[in-house]
A and B are shown apart, each in its own frame.
Chain A
Amino acid sequence: MSTVITVENLGKKYLLRHQSGKQPYVALRDVLSDGVRNLGRKLLGRSNATERGAEQEEFWAIKDVSFEVKQGDRIGIIGRNGAGKSTLLKILSRITEPTTGSIRIKGRVASLLEVGTGFHPELTGRENIYLNGAILGMGRAEIKKKFDEIVDFAEIEKFLDTPVKRYSSGMYVRLAFAVAAHLEPEILVVDEVLAVGDAQFQKKCLGKMEDVSAKEGRTVLFVSHNMGAINKLCNDSIWIHHGRIHGFGNSSDVIRVYNASVAGETQTQLPVAGNEFAPLSVRSLQLVNADNVESVSFSCDEPVRILMSLEISHCIPGMYGYVEIFDQYGETILVSDTFDAGVNILEQLGAGVHDIELHIPPRTLGHGEYSLTLDFSSPQSDRTIRPDSTSVLHLDRVLRFSLDDFTTTRGNTRRGHLSTIIAWKTLVQHNS
């Protein structure tokens, strides 16, 4: 297979402006007033040339990135938020220029960094198909040829001539996806777009992408936080960390190492057990899935198990603990304390190391991103350690994890905090 993308020493530098409280963009007003001020200083002989420079800071969003992609490869790009994945895609799609290095691409590139780019709410579905198609790089003849197929795929025949502002969000997303799914470039660049849309439709799109890339040898670059989707779609994955390539290889291997590292990083944030006066310390804290594998992304259909290893040096009377789970907006979703078991299990523990498991049953938390806080308190805590509170140990948001709903019809568009499945039963039939 021939190489279609060659990336060499790619780097992208941004200048961060440190002007707190001001808009992110430059105002002519400021440029003019700064100019006048500097002129004034110069005239007065008090030039201070370094002042403006000091307000800026360099930031490399991407640095020294090199890799090659062969024709027909499906490459996943993973990494934490802000690692530089999107910047890499933007450079690949020629939206922004690199600062250093080069990329050579053979073939037509279509990038899908957002679903429904350029959709106009006032225009009808039909008009938006043409507009969006053109924006994604299709010619008019090409769109015309695929028009019926697109409409079929999106399942919106009836609403073709309705302005999309009247569409439900599901219809809107389906239409946007349908256009994108019918793109036929040699190289397709896709950013976290499958995060929206219902699960069934997501599957349909993934299936379509898989189909085309397998049959027609299309090259796909795919950024996602959904490790399941990456694992399914991509043969190889690139792991980007702080703007550099941290790992590149077989998807399942890279994902495994990545997951372990994300979980591992949170462990390193834990306090060291060395404080001999601390009555209690957390040796380890991790999340594992049903198969006992450490993970940070779960399906709503599997349990989320919190494993911790506690070292108790001396028992504190009345000590209890709780776990608090927050959603991505910082709202408390769930609190569980050691009294949940009926009796406070902590009081029964003697000195030594204890492994404790908390089992959040499947179909409890809804899809989304969560963080977890662990707290141990005692009304009689040793005031010499923490004079101001009853807290013995407080680990604020030490773990982050996410859940995806793959099986219900609404999937990740299902609203609400819970993923509990409730039975709907017909009890009595009334014949009126």
Chain B
Amino acid sequence: MDQPEIIIKPGMGALHYWRDIWRYRELFFFLAWRDILVRYKQTAIGIAWSVLRPLLTMVVFTIVFGKLAKLPSNGVPYPIMVYAAMLPWQFFANSLTESSNSLIDNSNLLTKVYFPRLIVPAGSVIVSMVDFLISAIILGGLMAWYRFVPDMRILFLPAFFMMAFMASFGAGLWLSALNVQYRDFRYVVPFLVQFGLYISPVGFSSAIVPEEWRFLYFLNPMVGVIDGFRWALLGDAFPVNWPGFALSFVLVSLILASGLFYFRRMERSFADVV
């Protein structure tokens, strides 16, 4: 027989796992495609919503931080400064929210069909990526409106996006697995997202953070990502604090690695618990 032999044993989940993920890549695309399709079919406001949300937040932040608090924007129009940060932040926040519920929402699949469970939270991140792309188009519009032209650094943007992806996926893995295990964890997620918005430089620039707080500040991995986005999009006005960025990057990698490890460990019992 030329067929591969499957061996099922206790604690054997790890064997061929990555090969399986490759074999189930089409299911992965189909699930992501379903989520996107459903999302924009279900609500008339579907696409409008992913446009309005960051736009309105940007307006509020511009008024509160830029006009009322009169925080500096280093010569760049305040709305653009806010929106450049909003881009990765919304992506991160949406991914967290979506992926934390993803396993529960797909519990009917988990209990009826085998596939590497990893593709479920990964699919949620992909769905958030669509919103990200829509937001990116709006940013382009904003830049055109303010006649702001980014320089060659924009070529680095994909690298920072990768980092945002790693952070989103890593945290998403943690939250989705925790959510299966502790069903009330979903109440923690909105708080995390809201809290994160204020400790990340979305409404303000990193420059206003006092020197003595810098280390603590960069412990938030999204700080590195957002600073990177601003640097790539807005140029020298927003220099990256490279040691701080390195710290952020290490933390992001750590979150992703530990997320993968934790998810893989919990995965075996998902079907029994969910």
Using CB atoms and an 8 Å cutoff, list the residues of chain A in contact with chain B: 2, 4, 14, 23, 25-29, 31, 90-109, 111, 113-114, 117-118, 120, 122-123, 127, 130-131, 134-137, 139-140, 186
Contact = CB atoms under 8 A, between A and B. Distances in A.
B214 interface: no
Given A2-B1, A28-B182, A134-B27, A93 B9 contact: no
16 contacts: A25-B183, A95-B114, A97-B12, A98-B8, A102-B9, A103-B9, A104-B5, A104-B6, A104-B7, A105-B6, A106-B3, A108-B3, A111-B112, A134-B30, A136-B113, A186-B3
B26 interface: yes
A327 B113 CA distance: 32
Given A14-B272, A108-B3, A134-B27, A95 B112 contact: yes
A104 B12 CA distance: 12
B49 to A, nearest CB: 16
Interface of B: 1, 3-13, 26-27, 30-31, 34, 37-38, 41-42, 108-115, 178, 181-185, 188, 268-269, 271-273
B10 A97 contact: yes
A117 to B, nearest CB: 5
Given A100-B10, A134-B27, A134-B30, A95 B1 contact: no
A122 B41 contact: yes
Contact of A118 (B7, B41, B108, B269): B108
Most chain B Cβ neighbours within 10 Å, of A4, A117, A118, A139: A118
A174 B38 CA distance: 23
B9 A98 contact: yes
Given A2-B1, A106-B3, A94 B26 contact: no
Contacts of A135: 27, 30, 109, 113, 115
Given A27-B183, A106-B3, A106-B5, 14 more contacts: A25-B182, A27-B182, A95-B113, A97-B13, A102-B9, A106-B1, A107-B1, A109-B6, A122-B41, A123-B38, A127-B37, A131-B34, A136-B113, A139-B26
Contacts of B113: 93, 95, 111, 113, 117-118, 135-137
Given A118-B108, A118-B109, A134 B1 contact: no
A130 B6 CA distance: 26
Could you say which of B26, B31, B111, B273 has the most chain A C-beta atoms within 10 Å of its C-beta? B26
Of all A-B residue pairs in the complex, the 5 with the closest CB atoms, nearest first, are A28-B182, A94-B114, A134-B30, A103-B8, A107-B3
Contacts of A100: 10
A95 B111 contact: yes
A90 B109 CA distance: 12
A290 to B, nearest CB: 38
Of listed B6, B7, B8, B110, residue having the most chain A CB within 10 A: B8
Nearest to B181: A26
Given A100-B10, A105-B5, A135-B27, A114 B112 contact: yes
Given A27-B182, A97-B12, A97-B268, A117 B38 contact: no
Contacts of B42: 122
B8 A105 contact: yes
A107 B1 CA distance: 8
A117 B112 contact: yes
Contacts of A117: 108-109, 112-113
A120 B30 CA distance: 12
A193 B66 CA distance: 62
Contacts of B178: 28
B184 A140 contact: no
Contacts of A140: 26, 30
Nearest to A107: B3
